[in-house]
Amino acid sequence: MSINAAAPSGQLKWVDLRSSTVKREAGKVSSPEVTGSSTAEFAALLQQAAVQPLTTGSSSRSSLTSLPDASSMDTLLWQQLGGAAEAKDNISGEITATVPTDYEELIQTASAKYGVPVDLIKAVIDTESSFNPNVVSSAGAKGLMQLMDGTANGLGVSDPFDPAQSIDGGVRYLSYQLKRYDGQEKMALAAYNAGPGRVNKLGVSNDAELMANLSALPKETQAYIAKIERARAQYAV
């Protein structure tokens, strides 16, 4: 998510597009169809990025900048990338029992599919949208997991307001970041919020180094990591 300078530090302004005052007209909010060729290209580039070692400076600017409509690596990666590959291995610790939510089956399914702990998924959804599937941030992020349009398109999410699509796409994207940073959760969360380009520019390789350089990240991202940790503690059993 991008930072809205007009909003208070660490806060995003949400709008419910399905409220009584703001109605989505059929056919006007749907994302462009993702073709097979573009999905394959997204997947290939994402796989390449995931295996490249972390670097700093100009060397961190990989072939990801060649993606259509991507102006620079500073643009949030989730506005540039998607992919069809699935993460089948558990990435970040054991999947634990958690406090149930209204989207329990969808979350459990995505957790098993992509190897991301259930409590972490719930914490991200809680922090991103407070489990409201219809919200839109001031930056344009939509749905339960607050996907930007470019990210949603690349992930094959045609309706970011659909809980099933949002959870599957958001958890898959989070799993990409966990793999990218070798399971370092804080680094993955910072990348989910601010973009991998900003995380890579710090030149850090683990969560401890990230936290030592946290002030170099946007204030929204600094607060985001702490919010996720607090929310996760509420859902873990």
Catalytic residues: 128
Alpha-carbon torsion (76, 81, 85, 86), positive or negative: positive
Q: Dump strand ranges (E) for 42-92.
A: none
**Cβ neighbour number for residue 123 with a 10 Å cutoff:** 23
What does the alpha-carbon distance between residue 231 and residue 124 come to, in Å, rounded to a whole number?
A: 8
Residues with Cβ within 8 Å of 120's Cβ and at least 6 positions away in sequence, in order, are: 92, 174, 185, 228, 232
DSSP-derived 3-state class of residue 142:
strand
CA dihedral 225, 231, 235, 237 (to 10 degrees): 70
CB 101 within 8 A of CB 107: yes
Hey, which residues does 136 pair with through a beta bridge? 15, 142
CB 84 within 8 A of CB 43: yes
What does the alpha-carbon distance between residue 151 and residue 149 come to, in Å, rounded to a whole number?
A: 5
DSSP-derived 3-state class of residue 162:
coil
